[in-house]
Structure 1
């Protein structure tokens, strides 16, 4: 774990380098940074400055904006609400630039606490103020340190109260659920806090209003709440949360949102949210029974026509998850899925990432199913794998996915081995194995399942 260090301690070290060791300012600063880094200190949010040369507000504009916000929160500011909104918007812009350390600087210097307080004190009638405050807050909470400050400041309850009182404002809902997503990322305790406050029931209530289905952050919040991404936790509770989301009907509402053509910009997030809920066969089957597979196949057709690879990939990924159920596999194929996926691959023939998703989906559909493997070969999926390997030799993910799909096409279908070997698949697999280390295991298994004795060479 990184060692915590304050701005004052950092400044003192630079000052000591100059006064006690006689270093010039630039040397003293560089030495402090290097020494503390070697000691494992956490320098995120530390302003690297030479004490006395410039105030923190001159070194980093975030400090100036924070001082303005703190003055307003304490009643010491003579500025009006419009000026406050401008400061909040400026902070949001500054902290949204990921290449800079602005968010860490703001979080280290009380930014999370002051923003939570400002949002708590703002009334729902001050919509423009709340929207700016929530956006700024969502840009600050990016790591465990900042999300813990959010939790300790009663952030989950304050944000939930705001959301419950603003069900008619899509802008406040968007800002509020952005905070839910940002604050829950990588923090199991914050996820639990939101679940204790019944965020799942609030999400269902919000989504039942069709006009709210354009609120993309709502889908992001579902996905993050149901993702086990806190590496400090041995056993995450999110699997249980996913089942609860499904039990109260959120999966069904998500399918309806897809059916009624959610905004294209929100569709990938909606698919990711539904994928996060589909954690067992029962839920996967219920999604299918509510028309989820029909909707996704239609979306794939439209994505191919519109050449929207983002939507194409997210729909294929969700279908792969649903195809974990054998009943759903049959349903996908009976509805012409194999033909649709092949058409999609041809429309994106120059994009290996789409081809990878198609091959990954076919890999799932043919798993433990000789009948599906025979049909896939007859439709041309063996040729698709070979052409992908020929066309994208430098793409390790493409080569690996082709090998994995080939395995399922041939492992229980000896007749398919003959077909692919005659088309020269062995040379391509051996080449992928030699060039790409990440393909070695998949390539070896593919050669073995093709019936080759020297598969491990």
Structure 2
């Protein structure tokens, strides 16, 4: 578990450094950071830049102005102006958001939304609430969860208001497992899954997909175990068919297609879901997306990740080369060769599709993938991620197809891998394993030794001759 402290604790430590040690404010902050980091405290959510008294008073006054106008049902123009001013204050930085939160801005904004029937006030209140709680989701309480669900149930609902509520729901889930579970347990999936139907505007579909993705995040360091897998399982079971239909209905919508691909990848947590995608014609649809948006680096990169996820199902993995995925992977990696990030994702997909599959490996070999892999290694010789995934791809291709080794060595794979041994100590095992499976001479370290006992370790087990391939 990660050790965390409150903002107040950090501020008190800074104050003590000033008053007791006589340090200047900047030195006091630096010393406090060193003290807490030495204790293993996570300071990622702590504000180190202190607000001046005047700045604190300004944002407090902005909150109070909104509260006053809300209680007196002030003029619409005046309340909108006050909301704009508060939002601008919150947009200045996280310390301003925290100060506004301490001044009860969260409840005041909810009260304002409920007190005014004017649409512009409701939209402004939601925009300000979104600004207040972006990167500060701790403010959400049971009232806020009920507010989200009840307003999403309202039909017909204004598109702009609905979009803002979905955005707010997503932000409340980011880096906050407790909020995720609260929102999920309020049956939000049942409420919004119908937003994927034929009558829903594209912008609402996109926000709905973003909520689904937020519900399956596992990014809160404060909790040891989350429920991301369970959330993904249920969302996939209830929405996969509808999501696949979106790929058919919106072939020309680039941004929506990207959202769909990213969402599908996040939901591929079980082999049965990969098969469900295939049964719905997904392999053809995903290939069509890659062909349609071949010049979109983001779509190609995310498609590589989805291919890797789908390869977790043995049937999908066997069928994908027959659907033309070998050539499209080759061509897409070549076309994206300047982007190390995209190349890494592409090589990872190659590694996944050739894992324990000599049939797939042969097709990749025949289509010229060895040249693509080695070209990527030479092009990005200083990029550790590219070199690591390339070593996986080489290893998986040759481990059960030894006849391919000569070709890899001929085009420079051994030289590239040996350079990696000099440059990247962190991936030494991966590189040596690739060299070993290529049949090259390599010194494998025995991490643990002993006499008269059954002393073993993880690396010794991984170096067993039967463990010939990489599996992510």
Give the TM-score, by structure 2 length: 0.83
From 110, 116, 127, the equivalent of 1:116 is 110
Matched, 1:259 2:258: no
* Residues 404-444 of structure 1: per-residue CA shift (max 9 Å, x gap): 11111101101011111122211101102211234322211
**Distance change >3 Å, CA 243–CA 55, structure 1 → 2:** closer
- Structure 2: how far apart are the matches of 1:230 and 1:255? 29
- Structure 1: how far apart are the matches of 2:161 and 2:296? 29
Match of 1:223 in 2: 213
How many residues align structurally?
Answer: 435
**Distance change >3 Å, CA 417–CA 185, structure 1 → 2:** same
**Distance change >3 Å, CA 289–CA 49, structure 1 → 2:** closer
Match of 1:285 in 2: 275
Match of 1:390 in 2: 378
From 29, 36, 41, the equivalent of 1:33 is 29
Matched, 1:364 2:352: yes
Match of 1:346 in 2: 334
CA contact (8 A) 1:254 1:270 kept: yes
Match of 1:199 in 2: 188
Equivalent runs, 1:72-111 vs 2, <5 Å: 72-75=69-72, 78=74, 80-96=75-91, 101-111=95-105
Match of 1:4 in 2: 6
**Distance change >3 Å, CA 86–CA 377, structure 1 → 2:** farther
**Distance change >3 Å, CA 265–CA 375, structure 1 → 2:** same
- Structure 2: how far apart are the matches of 1:432 and 1:15? 47
**Distance change >3 Å, CA 343–CA 47, structure 1 → 2:** closer
Match of 2:150 in 1: 161
From 418, 422, 428, the equivalent of 1:430 is 418
Please, which runs of 5 or more residues in structure 2 have no aligned partner?
446-472
Match of 1:442 in 2: 430
CA contact (8 A) 1:29 1:50 kept: no
Q: How far is 1:104 from its partner?
A: 3.4
Match of 1:299 in 2: 289
CA contact (8 A) 1:45 1:104 kept: no
Matched, 1:414 2:402: yes
CA contact (8 A) 2:395 2:437 kept: yes
From 320, 329, 335, the equivalent of 2:317 is 329
Match of 1:190 in 2: 179
**Distance change >3 Å, CA 12–CA 341, structure 1 → 2:** closer
Matched, 1:56 2:56: yes
Matched, 1:319 2:307: yes
- Structure 2: how far apart are the matches of 1:15 and 1:415? 68
Deviates more, 1:160-169 or 1:438-447: 160-169
SS at match of 1:183: helix
CA contact (8 A) 1:329 1:365 kept: yes
Equivalent runs, 1:127-166 vs 2, <5 Å: 127-143=119-135, 146-152=136-142, 154-165=143-154
Q: How far is 1:323 from its partner?
A: 1.6
Please, which runs of 5 or more residues in structure 1 have no aligned partner?
none
Match of 1:404 in 2: 392
SS at match of 1:265: helix
- Structure 2: how far apart are the matches of 1:118 and 1:45? 28
SS at match of 1:365: helix
Matched, 1:180 2:169: yes
Give the TM-score, by structure 1 length: 0.85
- Structure 2: how far apart are the matches of 1:380 and 1:443? 21
Q: How far is 1:200 from its partner?
A: 0.5
- Structure 1: how far apart are the matches of 2:46 and 2:110? 21
CA contact (8 A) 2:152 2:192 kept: no
Q: How far is 1:149 from its partner?
A: 2.2
- Structure 2: how far apart are the matches of 1:95 and 1:268? 30
**Distance change >3 Å, CA 404–CA 200, structure 1 → 2:** same
CA contact (8 A) 1:29 1:49 kept: no
SS at match of 1:353: helix
